[in-house]
Structure 1
Amino acid sequence: MKKQNSIIGNMAAGNHYEWQLYVGQRWSSICNDIVIETHYCQPGATGITIYTSMGSLYIDFDAMTINGPYNNLSIRRNTFLNYNQKQEVGWYYKDNRHWFEYGSQGSGGNTSSIGSDYIEQQYNNNPTGSVQFTAGNMTYMVDFTAMTQTNLSTHMTRKVRRRPKLNSIVSDNNSSPMLESPTTNSTDSSTEFIWEFNGDKGIWTEYQKPGCSLDSAEIERLYQLNPECQVSFTAGRYTYTLYFGGMYQVNNKFGTKRQVRRIDSGVQQTNSAFSQARWQFQDVDGNWKDYSKGGSRGHCSVSSQDIEAQYQQDSAGTVKFWTGRFHYELDFSDMSQTNLSNHTRRRVRRLQQ
């Protein structure tokens, strides 16, 4: 809640950004971060040295890492925007000596056929992809993962940077109107939905604390306030951005993109077909045990209701899930589950209550 209050405080003060330092087990705000922000918005700035009670710390803007007298330090930049706002972002390439924004005239007198807005749009659609353009009689490709520009004829490569423009917040006319805040009543609508991301090996995993800084209920509240905005959060030592409009999340360091989904758990809980079915597996001791989230043998990513929901959609399909450090696949056709690491199979059954 302390982090959430910090976000609210920044928004109330009119600030649209906040730089934070990871020390020990938590993220802490950096005082006077306007100095960091000013430098970061300059395309030619590689980093900045800040002076703290821990000594001098160097922030590498390209890698978004921090070097100092202590290990395990991290840096991040959070953004806070209203539903109808967006931060102007500039895309730049380094010519022989200077940084030029795409769409402006370079040192050779040529102007690229695309500008920052178009590149940003393509980047948001696929942060690990690329985009091609022309300048003069040459064709180039910008690689979002490597952050490089390559001349497809000469194969010359140049550095590329993506930086926000200082204090440049504009109205986003494509944004949908803000939804009214949920009215207070006896039923908390935020508890009726579960938010999940498509994780490793295609397993849908719910956003839960303490591993993640946001859980399903908090994400749902933000979604109801603005179903077209983007939300920053942390999981482990990485920061992510969840895009409600496209229903995906992006790892802010590596650009990894994963699908996100919103499940109506209220419907699942009240549907008699779901609630009456009970799914069990035969354990090593021969006893039948229920699928249950957060069981005594380690956290399981699915419950009987989750499995039944998938079964109702495709009774001949499969469900992937994890328990502890192992990943499994449940096959409805032969009613078995398989450990995907050691291929151990166990019987599965569906009971009607």
Structure 2
Amino acid sequence: MIISSLLLFESNYSYLRTQQWHLFDGQQWSSICNDHIIESHYCQPGARGMTIDTHLGALYIDFDAMTVRGPFAGLGIRREMLLSHNQTQEVGWYFKDNSYWQEYGTQGTSSVNSQTLEQWYNTNPEGSFQFTVGRSTYVIDFSAMTQTRRSTHVLRKVRRRPKFNSSVFVNDRCPNTPSPLSTSINSSMGITWEFMGEEGIWTEYQKPGCSLDSIDIENQYQLNPHGQLTFTAGRYSYTLEFSEMFQINSTFGTKRHVRRTTGENHYNSSALSQIQWQYNDENGYWKDYVKGSARGSCTISSQDIERQYQQNSTGSMSFRTGRFNYILDFSAMIQTNMSTQTKRPVRRLLQ
């Protein structure tokens, strides 16, 4: 696609922006007017690049390599973030499934989502990340931006792109008055919204099973912490009350407790409580291991699992939930029902 309305010049053209695109003409960097057009294309996971028409001639921007080609040598392109210390931008991670780009976690079957990948990427942009889907194990290479299925060695392309005009977290307090919220929201510690499930297990709001996720809820909460919002899950509608922290089924009037957790909730506690262990249930949702005293409750918690993991990270441990016994294999990151032999992926998260 050729965009002919982009001209290079320093200007005071202003709108609410979180980034700025610049072009290097061989001598100096210049801002690009109407660069929101470039940004909107860059945010599309299927866009390899685009051609813009400038006073330097037609220039092609390669989004993956972040390079520019044109009639002159020595040209350069860069995307500068304009976020303050207490802001962040939502980033999507995608893999190419045949001819289509799919976001991780949106199909309800993947054991990983964009938020998790972004956390690991920020920890080590040159590293890798391993996850499982069913019985298959995959490895994402951040430096090569590829995904490999270990059993078949099938390779798929991966892309990391910001979400266009995505909401950012803004703290309105004076910079000299730090807020617990602003200090806990960064690239590796986010906000998680969960409801109490039928089995007494805290379950995160996740798409596509639910019409919104933690990010959507947090955006509304920031606008009005004492308000409410409506959403759907399956064929039912719900209302989430922020002031009382519960959700109501609009059909049956059933109420469930809701909680909002941040990285700071665990930051000052012991090292064990900073780790969260979760399993992937039959619906593709990640659920916490929650220890309880009631009949049918799980006999272990995340802290119990982490304590055993620290003693032997390649070993295993057994536990019981209801009438079933399970084995948790740390090396394979799988839990197995000893009666049915059903296997479920397990993950270990730093909160």
TM-score where L is the length of structure 1: 0.45
TM-score where L is the length of structure 2: 0.46
Bigger Rg over Cα: 1
